[in-house]
Amino acid sequence: MKTILRNLLLAVLILLMQTTAAKAQAFDDAGQYMDHISKANEKLTAVYLSYTSALAHKNARKQEKRRSDVLNAIIDTKAIIMGMPPWKGDRSYKDSTAAYLKLLNIVFNEDYAKIVNMEEIAEQSYDAMEAYLLAQEKADEKLEEARVRQHNGSLSFAKKNNINLIEGESEIGRKSKIVSDLNKHCNDVYLVFFKPYKQEMYLLDALQKGNLIAIEQNINSLEKFTKEGEEKLKTFEGFNSDPSLIAACQEALVFYQSESTRTKNLSDFFLKKENFDKMKKAFDAKRNNDRTKTDIDNFNNSVNEMNAASKDYNKLNDQLNKERTAMLNNWNKKYGRYLEEHMPVQRKQ
């Protein structure tokens, strides 16, 4: 039974190969030959653009099904191209297309697999996030370089065979360029935002632990990164003349700058607490009979001062928490809206 089934499958495969070969020979002119390759490539580009544009909006791990679709589409496209004969003995266009598909397979099979893994640790540090976004940019650059190289190969084939082409790039090619450029701009702005964002996390951790030295160090770093970010934003231009993402980042930096200034008051609270704890320890070490009226008055005054300082600390901390929540909501909302407005939506053809 297995032998019969194997022979049947082999017969079907041979029939399909013969059918493909027969179709491959049915090109009346160079224009038809070129159009066959172009349509196969455009269909593939539509599939991979649906993946790369989705990455900007969603978790990379959740897009693995789309990446799998891209890899399958590359295999299908390669089968179409390899089933075609050279055009009148000239293999250059066919071979350049095969090389293009090979490069796409490497990018989506290797580069994007690394990106998926890097995403899991990207939030852990600024360096990790920078490496993650840089990997995305490099992958985009490779795709754009491959697309341009393939486009030039098409132009060369057309010129060699006297094919008149309509000037300008295809809609798919235009979208591909937009995705690459938009991702670059968004990543540049996001890194400016992420640096003080991550530094604030270290500051909040130091506040939670009451580590006075760490608090002061992280306040200084937050202030430094905020000022650096403000200067860097001045060198950016909005994508497609839209500066709204830059403006949203500036709003976030205003909060971080204000926080670094006001958090110095929180630092003062821990210094007061440290001094109060020392006084309380010394006061508690004395027996009641040994405590003078001055000792008791000083201790009571310190308790009152500490209670007032605690009240101010909680009030400021609550205010910063509310402002932080509002700032993050505003940033996330405007970042998402920016992508929705400028990222081309590409559905598989």
Per-residue pLDDT tens for 209-225? 989 899 999 999 999 99
What pLDDT is recorded for position 86? Answer: 93
pLDDT in tens, 111-152: 999 999 999 899 999 999 999 999 999 999 999 899 889 989
What pLDDT is recorded for position 288? Answer: 87
Give the pair of three-digit tokens for residue 162.
């006297």
What pLDDT is recorded for position 335? Answer: 95
Share of the chain above pLDDT 90, in %: 61
Closest CA to 173 of 30, 48, 66: 48
What pLDDT is recorded for position 347? Answer: 55
Domain assignments of the chain as residue spans, ordered by start: 30-165, 195-342
- Residue 317: is its pLDDT beyond 60? yes
For 309, half-sphere exposure in the C-beta direction (CA atoms, 13 angstrom radius) is: 18
| pLDDT: which is higher, 284 or 110 | 110
pLDDT in tens, 88-101: 999 999 999 999 99
pLDDT in tens, 289-316: 888 888 888 888 988 988 988 898 999 9
pLDDT in tens, 197-207: 999 999 999 99
SS3 (DSSP) at 163: coil
- What lies within 8 Å, CB to CB, of 221 at 6+ separation is 199, 202
Which segment, 51-60, 91-100, 170-179, is predicted with the most confidence on average?
91-100
Closest CA to 65 of 43, 44, 47: 47
What pLDDT is recorded for position 250? Answer: 98
Which segment, 178-182, 302-306, 334-338, is predicted with the most confidence on average?
334-338
List the alpha helices (DSSP H) in 123-170. 126-160
pLDDT in tens, 230-255: 999 999 999 999 999 999 999 999 99
What pLDDT is recorded for position 271? Answer: 84
Tell me what the pLDDT averaged over the chain comes to: 88
- Residue 22: is its pLDDT beyond 90? no
| pLDDT: which is higher, 208 or 193 | 193
- Residue 190: is its pLDDT beyond 80? yes
Length of the chain: 349
What pLDDT is recorded for position 126? Answer: 95
- Provide Rg for the chain, Cα atoms: 31
Share of the chain above pLDDT 70, in %: 90
Quick count: other Cβ atoms within 10 Å of Cβ 309?
18
The CA distances from residue 226 to 209, 222, 231, in Å, are 24, 6, 9
Which residue bears the tokens 């399909």?
Answer: 16
Closest CA to 186 of 52, 283, 23, 304: 52
Quick count: other Cβ atoms within 10 Å of Cβ 51?
23
| Secondary structure letter of residue 210 according to DSSP | T
Q: How far apart are CA 86 and CA 36, in angstroms?
A: 13
Question: How much is the average pLDDT of 74-87?
Answer: 94
